[in-house]
Amino acid sequence: MTAEELVRAAAAGDAGAFEQLVRLYEKKVYALALRMCGNPEDASDAAQEAFLSAWKGLPNFRGESGFSTWMYRLTTNAAIDHLRKGKRQREETSLDDSETPLHIPDQSPGPQESAEGAELREAVTAGLQALSEDHRKILILREYQELSYEEIADVLDMDLGTVKSRISRARQALRKILLKKGNLSGYLPSKYSEKRKEGRS
């Protein structure tokens, strides 16, 4: 069955079809929740809440946007709700290379460059957690999930102009945080990725 067929079947009450949808999207949902929440336990809870919301909401899902876009919206909302509840004290989590695709050219770095890259990734991860809620979620959707401006507008239910201006302000805020901590060198959001994304925006 295609994803669209699974969505229709799940919306009609087919639990097996929904389980297949969960398997298809669980990695992406968890990755987004992890970057929003900052630690694995909260991310797992938020991901489960997002899928529970999807199961409850599928009968009313009309498909105006794609299922993946809808799941991004549910996951973002679940992560924000979870953070607001403050169920447990969150710790900063350093993500490894495969989970944090920072837009830095691959130049086969030596030991020193590798160490600097790891330090930079930790600094960016911490910087994201220091951003305001609005700035963090929109920057994650753009830089990490690589959604287009239109997709972000759909996920966050805002107009395109607001999306673009908020992304710009979020990038500036992150730069300021990294500058303050002395970690800006070598990293400017979208410096290497924006050209690649222009066709999708």
pLDDT computed for residue 184 by the predictor: 55
Whether residues 63 and 121 fall in one domain: no
Q: Is residue 75 part of a domain?
A: yes
Single-letter residue type at 166: R
pLDDT computed for residue 143 by the predictor: 85
**CA-wise closest residue to 3 among 28, 27, 20, 26:** 20
Residues 17-48: pLDDT tens digits? 999 999 999 999 999 999 888 888 888 999 99
The two tokens of residue 159 are 């107009």
Q: Does the pLDDT value for residue 61 go beyond 70?
A: yes
- Residue 56: pLDDT band (50, 70, 90) is very high
Q: Does the pLDDT value for residue 108 go beyond 50?
A: no
Q: Is residue 105 part of a domain?
A: no
Q: Does the pLDDT value for residue 127 go beyond 90?
A: no
Three-class secondary structure of residue 25 per DSSP: helix
| CA 44 – CA 112 distance, rounded (Å) | 34
Residues 145-168: pLDDT tens digits? 888 899 899 898 899 999 999 999
The two tokens of residue 48 are 């489960």
- Residue 50: pLDDT band (50, 70, 90) is very high
Q: What is the mean pLDDT of the chain?
A: 77
Long-range contacts of residues 139-143, Cβ cutoff 8 Å, at least 24 apart: 139/167, 139/170, 139/171, 139/174, 139/189, 140/32, 140/35, 140/36, 141/32, 141/72, 141/76, 142/167, 142/190, 143/103, 143/189, 143/190, 143/193
Q: Is residue 100 part of a domain?
A: no
The CA-based angle 179-108-190, given to 5 degrees, is 40
Q: Could you list the residue range(s) of the whole structural domain that residue 177 is in?
A: 111-188
Q: Does the pLDDT value for residue 99 go beyond 70?
A: no
Q: Is residue 151 part of a domain?
A: yes
DSSP per-residue codes, 124-166: HHHHHHHS-HHHHHHHIIIIIS---HHHHHHHHT--HHHHHHH
Whether residues 122 and 74 fall in one domain: no
Q: CATH number, domain at 116?
A: 1.10.10.10
